[in-house]
Every structure is written in C-alpha cells, then in structure tokens.
Chains A and B, each alone.
Chain A
Amino acid sequence: MSHDEARAAELSAGFPRQTLVSIAVFCVLWQALSYFAPALGIPAFAIPGFAKIWASLIKITPIDVLVTLARVIGALILSFVLGVALAMAMYRSTSLENYLHPMVRLFMAVPVVSWILFAVLWFRGVEFRIAFVLIAVCGPVFLVDALDAMRGVPKELRGMMRSFRPTPSQFFIKLMLPAILPSLITSWKINLSLAIRVVTIAELVGAVTGIGHQLAVAQELFSVADVFAWTLVLVALLFALEAVVARFERRVLRWRA
C-alpha cells in the first residue's frame, strides 16, 4: 500500500518536466517500434502506430466511460460509508473490534480474482456482482485506515473535547471526523486507483457495458489499438478523479498549509 500512497503523493504534486520527457521518449520508441515491427518479425497488429490508436480513440463510446465511472464512484461511496461506519462502531466497542478485526484481515488477503469468481458463482445481477467485488476490495481499506486514524487522534484533544461534554454524535462530527479527514482523503486516493483497476476486471465477466467490457471486445478482435485507446481512457479517468480529490484536499486541508 505504501507504493500506492507514494504514487498518490507524486500525482498530486503535478507533472514535473522529467515526466513529460519520459512520456515523450516512450511515445517516440513506441512509434519507431511500430514502424520497424514487420522487419523485426513482430505481427503488425501487435504494435499499432499512433495514427491507428488515434482512430480507436475517436471511436471511444462515452456511455461506456460514464457507466464505468458511475460504477466506481457508486461503489466507492458505498464502501466509504460502510467502512467508516464500521470503523466508528469498532472504535467504540473493543469487543466488536476483537471479533471483526480478524475477519477484515482475512477479507484483505483474498485475491481480487477470487472475489470475482465468488461474485459470478453467487450472484446473478451484473451490477450487483461488480458492486460486490468493488466493495469487498475497497471497503476494508477505508475501514482499516479510518480505524487507525481514529486511534491516532491525540488523547489530549479527546480529553479537551470530552471536558466540554459533547453528545456522542457531536464528539464524532466535531472531533473525530475532521481529525481523520486527511487519512480519509489518502484512502480515497488509494482506493480510486484500486477501484479503477478492479472494475475493469470485474466488467470483463458478464458486463455488456463499461470499459472492461470494451477491453474484452478489443481482445476478441485482436485490436491492440483499441486496447491501447481504452487503457489510455482508463488512465486519464484515474488522473482526472485523482485531480478532483487533490483539489478537494487542498480546499479542506488548507489549515495545514
């Protein structure tokens, strides 16, 4: 997870010049490789040039992008609400935490592919399957991060707050939630990239819309240009979502400046 965190931090820092240079070098190499591919004995379809990729890009159907986006956002909001609510309950009740913590650890160790297979075997509805997989993967991340952050709220602040005698809901709303907000935002960054990667795999199985489905179609057509184009869209989508979170972060965490 630390790798993802580092990546999230890197992204929010913007694009330094080196990044642009490395992307440009990659593009030049790719284009050159596509040009020389036949001479090197590589089939022409395997490394399409940028003209072909562009042709695939302009054929992108926005509805598939929107459907995938809606699935990711919807499932992440549900995971967030469930994860944070459970974390709050576990923070308040040690016995509940003792019972649930091993289960959460177990959940987190289950590979994504297993969740997808379980979803296919257990449930019929495609949307339900996708939501199930995303929540099973992202929910525990929100839960564990929120619980850790709650435990990290300084004892001094908790004592101060209690000395003014808040109701339990005031205690959470006025102290705990703002205190754990930085951690929650980091969880969102991590989970966004996780969800984008997981949703496409989940969509490969049974979905008739979405970027994952389009990737499956591209694979059946042996169209590397289409795979490349849809992958680019996915990456752009992730960057756009991360930019939204980073903007939100700058806004709500300006007190840290």
Chain B
Amino acid sequence: MSGPAAIAVRGLRKVFRQATTGQTVVAIDHLDLDIAPREVVAIVGQTGCGKSTFFDLMIGLEHPSEGAIDIGGKTPYADFDYFRGRMATVFQQDRLLPWRSSYDNVRLPLELMRVPEDVQRQRSMHWLKRLGLENFTNAYPHELSGGMRQRVAIARAFVLQPEILLADEAFGHLDEVTAAELRETFLALARECGSTAILITHQLEEAISVGDRIVVFGKSARLLADIHVAKWDKSEYGMLREAIQATLQGNAPDVRFAHERRITR
C-alpha cells in the first residue's frame, strides 16, 4: 500500500427532490473540507444535518449535484471501481449477511476482489483473531451478541487494510462499555494500518475521544467548526464539549472556537 491520499472536498452540494412533495431539499450546501492522509476525523452534527448524505457521497453511492470529492485525483462516484479495496465502511448496524458465518462475512470484501483463497483465509483469520473472535469463526450472526457482530463488521472493514476507513455511527447503538472498548480498538487498528479514518457520530464524548479533528456540521452540512483536538488541553475537554453543544444548538460557531481555523460563510 502506497499510503492514503489526501481528501479534498470542494464546493460539494447535494440536492434531493422529495418523491412525495416534489420539494427540493439541500442536504449539503457548498462544503469545503480537507482531510490529510492518516488523519482521524470525527464529524458531529444534529440529525438531518447532511452527515449521512456526505457519507454516501464519500462512499460513492450518490453523485454530487455540484462540486467534488477529490481523493488523489480520483472521485468516489465517477471512479467507483478504482476505490475497490481502498475504502471500507463500518455501518451503524453491523449489516452482516445472516447466511454467512463470521469467517465468511469477514472474507466477503476479499472475495469481491478475487483475492486467492489461501490469502483470504489467512487475512480473515488474522483479523478475526485481532478482534477476539477466533472462537466464533463458524458462528452465524444470530448466534452472536450485538458487540460481537459489530466486531465482525470491523474485521470485515480491516481485512482490506483500506486507505480510507469510514464509520457511520458505528458504536452508537452499543452499550457504553462495549462502545468505548470497540472505539478504542477501532482507532488503534486504524492508526496501525495507517488509514485515513472518518467517523460520523452524534455523541460528543465519542468525537472528543476519537479524533485528531472534530468537524461540526450545521444545517445542510455547513461547516460550523473545525477543531484540532490537540490544541485543547485535557482539562479543557469539558469546555470543548459545551462549546460544541452551543455551536450545534445555535447553528453558528461558538466564540470559544475563535482561535480555531474556523470556516464560516
């Protein structure tokens, strides 16, 4: 792996037409965002702020109405196949295939890439072990707990050793202890793999504990704050949380982010 490329989001806009009312909805309105290679970024925002639409555009499931997401000169939608094996997503629900065992779920992305079977086996078993699932390789999803299923989903993402890792509220539905544990594992593995990681979350604690950066989305994915967590002392985390909260509630950057490289339009 040559290493991940920088992600440059330029003038990204996504407009939907509602099927029932025929009204147009601006889900993302001219978003500009740069993410450095190997950076871990948490995106926070209220429900309906365009986080999930941004993710669909990142994955390449949707095409932008205007603007572009540029990753090393390629775009996820137009160059869909280029990103096969380079990008992996952990979703909110585990989204495991119920008819496949843990092992078969983990090796799915490698199968799609037509990786030789022995390599599939070796890499899948390696990641199942790393996530503590070596005794559950033949278990079907319905035989596993929610936390274990999410571990399988994480192993399925890491088995690709992707350049870009996306996590869409991947730990939000788990109990706090399991979520914290899995989040730590996820971050440690992401750093070990040298992947660029983007995590969507609605939990501020999670965002603060996760990221090198926290990006706060307002309505229509308007960039309200771009916080470099390292600039904040641990003792200030309480204040940081309050400031993010105030930003989200007011749909405008909080004054406490004045020293951050803040973007408002």
**Chain A residues at the B interface, C-beta cutoff of 8 Å:** 156-157, 159-160, 162-167, 170, 174-175, 178-179, 181, 253, 255-256
Contact = CB atoms under 8 A, between A and B. Distances in A.
A156 B97 contact: no
8 contacts: A164-B84, A164-B88, A165-B81, A170-B112, A174-B111, A179-B99, A255-B99, A255-B140
Q: Closest 4 CB pairs between A and B? A: A165-B84, A160-B95, A255-B99, A255-B140
Interface in B83-129: 83-85, 87-89, 91, 93, 95, 97-100, 108-109, 111-112
Contact of A164 (B98, B99, B108): B108
Nearest to A252: B99
Interface in B32-75: 59-61
A165 B93 contact: no
A156 B93 CA distance: 8
B169 to A, nearest CB: 13
Task: Please classify how large the interface on chain B is, using the bins under 10, 10 to 19, 20 to 34, 35 or more.
Answer: 20 to 34
A170 B91 CA distance: 21
Nearest to A171: B112
Nearest to A157: B95
B93 A163 contact: no
B237 interface: no
Of A159, A163, A167, A178, the most chain B CB neighbours within 10 A belong to A163
B61 A164 contact: no
A163 B61 contact: yes
A255 B99 CA distance: 5
Interface string B225-239: 000000000000000
Interface in B215-257: none
B58 to A, nearest CB: 10
A15 B91 CA distance: 45
A136 B178 CA distance: 55
A255 B83 CA distance: 32
Given A159-B61, A178-B99, A165 B112 contact: yes
B80 interface: yes
Given A159-B61, A255-B140, A164 B95 contact: no
Contacts of A167: 112
Nearest to A160: B95
Nearest to B56: A159
A255 B91 contact: no
A163 B89 contact: yes
A14 B99 CA distance: 25
A160 B112 contact: no
Interface string B144-167: 000000000000000000000000
Given A163-B88, A255-B142, 5 more contacts: A164-B109, A164-B112, A179-B97, A181-B99, A255-B100
Contacts of B59: 162-163
Contacts of A165: 60, 80-81, 83-85, 112
A163 B165 CA distance: 11
Contacts of B93: 156
Interface in B160-192: none
Contacts of B112: 164-167, 170, 174
B95 A156 contact: yes
A175 B95 contact: no
Contacts of B111: 170, 174
Contacts of A175: 97
B246 to A, nearest CB: 34
A39 B182 CA distance: 84
Nearest to A164: B109
A253 B99 CA distance: 8
A175 B105 CA distance: 11
A174 B112 CA distance: 9
A239 B109 CA distance: 41
B245 to A, nearest CB: 30
B163 to A, nearest CB: 14
A165 B108 CA distance: 11
A162 B88 CA distance: 11
